[in-house]
Structure 1
């Protein structure tokens, strides 16, 4: 069974560029006046983490 992750944002690094939302195939991230993550939509591909130009995103494994 593939692992499930939650994406966390370091708000001190994130400047709301929207790059992560633009590459998310599941549309699990929304960026406007703040950064929002929808765990229900996330497919745990972590493309957003790799795409962040400032390293503001990390993935945390979700148990159970």
Structure 2
């Protein structure tokens, strides 16, 4: 079974551009005046992490 992840944001690097939210196929990230990750929607594809232009996103594995 594929690993399940939780996406983490480094708030010192993130400037709330919304690029990660724009590429998320399940809308598991919301960006407005703050950054929000919705773990139940995440399919662990990591597209958001690769899309971040400033490297503000990382992940940790979670037990299922």
TM-score, length of structure 1 as denominator length? 0.98
Q: CA RMSD in A?
A: 0.5
Match of 1:34 in 2: 34
Cα offset for 1:30?
0.3
Match of 1:57 in 2: 57
Q: Which whole-Å CA distance do the structure 2 matches of 1:2 and 1:14 have between them?
A: 28
Tell me, which stretches of 5 or more residues in structure 2 are unaligned?
none
Cα offset for 1:59?
1.1
Give every structure 1 segment of 4 or more consecutive aligned residues whose post-TM-superposition deviation is greater than 3 Å.
none
TM-score, length of structure 2 as denominator length? 0.98
Tell me, which stretches of 5 or more residues in structure 1 are unaligned?
none
Which structure shows the higher helix fraction? 2
Count, aligned residues: 64
Q: Which whole-Å CA distance do the structure 1 matches of 2:24 and 2:15 have between them?
A: 17
What whole-Å deviation, never above 9, does each CA across 1:11-50 have from its counterpart, x for those lacking one? 0000000000000001000000000000000000000000
